[in-house]
Amino acid sequence: MADDARVLIADDDAAIGTVLCDLLGQAGYVARHVASGDAALAALQREPFDALIADVRMPGMDGLALLQRVAARSPELPVLMLTAHGSVPLAVEAMKHGAADFMLKPFDREELLFALHKALLGSKQQRAQAPQAAASGGLIGQSEALRETHELVRKTAQSHATVLIRGETGTGKELVARAIHAQGARRDKPFVAVNCGALPETLLESELFGHEKGAFTGAVRRKPGRVELAHEGTLFLDEIGDVSPAVQVKLLRLLQERTFERVGGAGSVVADVRFIAATHRDLNALVATGGFRADLFYRLSVVPIWLPPLRARGEDIDRLVQHFCALHAAAHGRREISLRPRALERLRAEPWPGNVRQLQNLIERLVVLNDGPSIDLPELERELARDAPAGQAAGGGALDEHRRRAEGEALREALQRSGDNRSLAARLLGISRRTLYTKLAEHGIV
């Protein structure tokens, strides 16, 4: 995650800026320091960054004002807030305005690097999600399979009931959670998301409930958890099916009693939050085999929402493709681009195991790698062949050779577009630099 990631640091303390630049540089990031909020905005206009670390108290534009400006202009950019004057209300205010995390000075090196890594990972996952469309509650399409979902989102948003969103990976579960929050009474309060499957048990517990000073090695002071930061707002528990039995017990108490204890703490803290959970796993099967608590399942599933897979929404393909073409053409500075009818017909016939997320990634790659105003079937077949699993092409010599030629062509195009900048070429192709170098070696491209 650190490889080539660019981080902008906004802090009026030059010593802090130097320390952070050195720390991030040693961890493999490319870091740059500016001394004010205005300078940070100017830097963000001139060049791309993957994350921003900002001090709360700076002369002129302070960190919270900078956060709001960045959130309005670049909502996909993760922002970590730093302060020597920390408090839970200040942290909640920062989270409400879109901060990815909130850290106290003096910061712990490993804790800061972990928070940055987590923020970058969350940003990557968010960009991979299908973009929101306000008129459709976050989900684009008017197919019969999706109409019930639209209606459930509308009705559920008006209540405070706990919601369990279920569906395959890539169907847009977080979009639905955000739509419910945005249309409900808590819309002006924080929406705090936690990917329960991305953290080990010990870290997840601290992430959710916070910790007291001295609770474990490296806990140099009290830190509020995500439940506390979501006060009066919405807590989104993504991949709830992956949590351990020990954390399930704590979540059950949280849902039943609306109280929790920080790690290392003795007193109970009241949790005024709305809970929305999501999973791609079969919770009924997990309950049957003892992998998930039945009482927790019933507490979560007050209002169940099932998201249909893209293969059940074939009539929505054209609308989604049109949206993604416009979105990515604008994002990459391209003129208007579209898919020809026979290319659209081919897309409607795909099984889409990765659902809307897979379709979006494919359209972005097509927009980036094609120069003309339209994309026809040969260009689409080339990219579909690159996405095909290795086993699918095996045993079919002609298809395998077609896939290999298409892959080599895509590699050369990416290198040409990037001016032979390998890091940029990897980004254009949506792969890591290591994978790029492996593919270049396979095709004899130097």
Tens digit of each residue's pLDDT (9 = 90 or more) over 120-167: 877 665 554 434 443 344 578 888 878 888 889 999 999 999 999 999
Q: How far apart are CA 308 and CA 201, in angstroms?
A: 30
Sign of the torsion formed by the C-alpha atoms of 233, 306, 134 and 157: negative
At 445 the pLDDT is 79
Pairing of strands 338-339, 30-34: unpaired
pTM of the model: 0.65
Q: How far apart are CA 42 and CA 30, in angstroms?
A: 18
Q: Which CATH superfamily is domain 6-128 in?
A: Response regulator (3.40.50.2300)
> Over 50: is that where the pLDDT of 209 sits?
yes
At 259 the pLDDT is 94
> Over 60: is that where the pLDDT of 55 sits?
yes
> What phi-psi label fits residue 170: left (phi over 0), alpha (psi between -120 and 50 degrees) or beta?
left
The reply to whether domains 6-128 and 137-308 share a CATH topology is yes
Tens-place pLDDT, residues 63-76:
989 998 888 777 77
* Banded model confidence at residue 115, pLDDT cuts 50, 70, 90: confident
Query: Average pLDDT for residues 12-36, to the nearest whole number?
Result: 93
**Hey, where are the domains in the chain?**
6-128, 137-308, 311-442
Report, in angstroms and rounded to the nearest whole number, the Rg of the chain calculated over CA atoms: 23
Portion of the chain with pLDDT greater than 70, in percent: 89
> Over 90: is that where the pLDDT of 109 sits?
no
Tokens of 19: 């320390």
At 220 the pLDDT is 67
Q: Which CATH superfamily is domain 137-308 in?
A: P-loop containing nucleotide triphosphate hydrolases (3.40.50.300)
Tens-place pLDDT, residues 389-421:
544 443 344 545 556 677 777 788 778 777 777
At 134 the pLDDT is 36
Tens-place pLDDT, residues 323-352:
999 888 887 878 889 999 999 999 998 999
Q: Map the chain to HEC letters.
A: CCCCCEEEEECCCHHHHHHHHHHHHHCCCEEEEECCHHHHHHHHHHCCCCEEEEECCCCCCCHHHHHHHHHHHCCCCCEEEEECCCCHHHHHHHHHCCCCEEEECCCCHHHHHHHHHHHHHHHHHHHHCCCCCHHHCCCCCCCHHHHHHHHHHHHHHCCCCCEEEECCCCCCHHHHHHHHHHCCCCCCCCEEEEEHHHCCHHHHHHHHHCECCCCCCCCCCCECCHHHHCCCCEEEEECHHHCCHHHHHHHHHHHHHCEECCECCCCCEECCCEEEEEECCCHHHHHHHCCCCHHHHHHHCCEEEECCCHHHCHHHHHHHHHHHHHHHHHHCCCCCCEECHHHHHHHHCCCCCCHHHHHHHHHHHHHHHCCCCEECHHHHHHHHHHHCCHHHHCCCHHHHHHHHHHHHHHHHHHHHHCCCCHHHHHHHHCCCHHHHHHHHHHCCCC
Highest average pLDDT, of 9-13, 46-50, 367-371, comes from 9-13
* Banded model confidence at residue 86, pLDDT cuts 50, 70, 90: low
Kindly report the average pLDDT of the chain as a whole number. Answer: 84
**Of 3.40.50.720, 3.40.190.10, 1.10.8.60, 3.40.640.10, which CATH number belongs to 311-442?**
1.10.8.60
Q: What residues does 31 pair with on adjacent strands?
A: 7
Tens-place pLDDT, residues 211-234:
888 777 767 677 888 999 898 999
